[in-house]
Chains A and B, each alone.
Chain A
């Protein structure tokens, strides 16, 4: 018997070649589109991203000038969102990893809810923002406090909507970090006579800080780019000033791009602005995601 000649007939070898090539082609195609997209934004928008573009107000019905209020509005929005959402997400993750019996009815329900929440279309969160935050909470607060500032779209309600939307992102990231904390560490702490709560605050959370950070960054990345959910809960296409109160409306990079590219009278005129805005928005989310990915991969190696 020979070992050297192949038993595989030529047609089969061809099929094998194509089977690998088609998978390779798919991967290359996806990468190509990503590179093409980024390349087009960089080459068309790169020149437009200047210091004045970042720091000026838009002028002349958004057809000239910069994106400062949109940049500032987005930043304020994600900061407020983080303050509202990350503690809840972290607490949920702590509950799921540290307290819950993994197959208990309650833990399974929470998990199911988190996964469901991750799959709900963002536009539904937008409707939820209108129905719950503005109509129910806002109007409720107004009639209770005798004010008239809560019953309308605002920075606060947009941030709250996004906090709900990004909740699963935070929970999943923090949970992963908490699971990476070795069991021995917990047991060592408990064996020294620490209570469960002391173990969590003194041992588990300090070890999971990077995870909480990753979760927050990912959430911020998601929130910064999310437009559909805030369309009717407080974003505005033009603003004379940076919001100074949480009940004010605000400008947002993503919405700004949306308005410029679809709703302005002469879209071609503002095309350079659109590209520059896209580049800023993409650069922002890209940086955030990249940071999170790097932190995460370091965490996984540990």
Chain B
């Protein structure tokens, strides 16, 4: 009996390996030359072959392509896709009626089109042949993410910038709020208050991320635009706030656990030395729980960069290489989420998306390994000496 239950218990380990194996296996199509034979097509049925032969021109992109300095440089103008916006559920289109009609929030990943430059598309001249022959890795190192078009460009840099941007905002907002709220609940709140506040904040962890994304889309976005006057209704700040809402309950509950786990005797010893409750909380308890609080932030980071739905719905989802928080951003996870449904399975684009999945997996694995192997040891060491 024992061996069979042991076998089932190993499922978690097996799953970890399977995830790595099978996500990598799909990504591997990138590296075995299969990519050359596949063509890019989308399920919207927009025949890419009919597109005007516009291709990537590094010079054109380097120079300001239009009057708007921060315009996303479109690679292909696809009237068919633009026209198909009328179809409900046409994949990959993220439309939201803007308060400011000058900037309709439309980004179509199929065309890589941002609304502002619909009329300002710069004709680009070809360097197609050279690009098609580039190795996969050098393509991933490119500066632009325009996966659909005659010459698809898979530069992950804008996606990494977008991920970095939104994750940073989420952590800058979410970590202090989560930690301070935990501090309040653990040390300052009366027991009655604690018994209400703690489960209430933990309930936020159960909010589906689409719900948080929706809230950001309809409420937070308008509010932020009113306050900042940002040109784009959906931008990295709105996305970052959304991600922060996902991060807060995680940081809160882990930090609260860590703070409550600090021996009560330390508090007594500190108070007996004539320190106040707040001095005890900030100078003794918080430092004593520091490894746990650090772990809370790490896991918060893991949640923020891996979160998909909020990132798709609230960031504006445009792959800009801009660090400005008031401009849209597109994260790695959101890219997978919004494009996976439209790719031809087995194509190069498909492989690239899986490759990014491997990246996400490896990163989250690393974060978890750090918390498990390093932080927990530190915590134990801290209370037991040596």
Contacts and interface: CB of A to CB of B under 8 A. Distances in A.
B2 A31 contact: no
Nearest to B306: A121
Contacts of A62: 88-89
A48 to B, nearest CB: 14
Contact of A24 (B8, B184, B217, B279): B184
Contacts of A130: 26, 340, 345
Interface in B298-340: 299, 302, 305-309, 312-313, 333, 336-337, 340
Interface stretch (B62-70, B137-145, B195-203, B264-272): B195-203
Main DSSP-derived SS at the B contact region: helix
A123 B181 CA distance: 29
A109 B89 contact: no
B364 A34 contact: no
B282 interface: yes
B210 A20 contact: no
B203 A286 contact: yes
Contact of B360 (A99, A116, A124): A124
Nearest to A98: B5
A211 B213 CA distance: 31
Given A26-B180, A110-B9, A225-B206, A278 B214 contact: yes
Interface residues of B, number: 98
B91 A263 contact: yes
Main DSSP-derived SS at the A contact region: helix
Contacts of A127: 23, 26, 336, 340, 353-354, 357
A246 interface: no
A128 B18 contact: yes
B307 A225 contact: no
Contacts of A264: 88-89, 95
Contacts of A96: 9
Contacts, number: 294
Contacts of A123: 306, 308, 333, 336-337, 357, 360
Contacts of A289: 203, 206
Interface stretch (B47-55, B147-155, B365-373): B365-373
A8 B5 contact: no
A193 to B, nearest CB: 17
Contacts of B202: 293
A187 interface: no
Given A123-B336, A131-B354, A285 B208 contact: yes
Interface stretch (A75-83, A142-150, A177-185, A265-273): A265-273
Interface in B135-176: 176
A126 B309 CA distance: 12
Contacts of A37: 207, 211-212, 215, 219
B215 A91 contact: no
Interface in A41-93: 41, 61-63, 87-88, 91-92
Nearest to A91: B8
B16 interface: yes
Nearest to B215: A37
A189 interface: no
Interface string B175-189: 011111101110111
A231 B353 CA distance: 14
A120 B5 CA distance: 25
Interface string A238-272: 10000000000000001101110111111110010
A122 B189 CA distance: 35
A205 B10 CA distance: 20
B248 A99 contact: no
Contacts of B282: 19
Interface in A90-140: 91-92, 94-96, 99-100, 106, 109-110, 112-117, 119-128, 130-132, 135-136
Interface of A: 8, 16, 19-20, 22-27, 29-31, 33-34, 37, 40-41, 61-63, 87-88, 91-92, 94-96, 99-100, 106, 109-110, 112-117, 119-128, 130-132, 135-136, 164, 167-168, 171, 196-197, 221-222, 224-228, 231-232, 237-238, 254-255, 257-259, 261-268, 271, 274, 278, 281-282, 285-286, 288-290, 293, 297
29 contacts: A19-B282, A24-B184, A25-B180, A26-B180, A30-B177, A30-B201, A33-B245, A37-B207, A61-B89, A63-B88, A92-B12, A112-B372, A121-B360, A121-B361, A123-B308, A124-B357, A127-B336, A128-B18, A128-B22, A167-B11, A171-B12, A225-B210, A227-B210, A228-B209, A232-B341, A261-B218, A262-B93, A262-B94, A263-B88
Given A27-B185, A119-B299, 4 more contacts: A41-B215, A131-B354, A225-B208, A258-B313
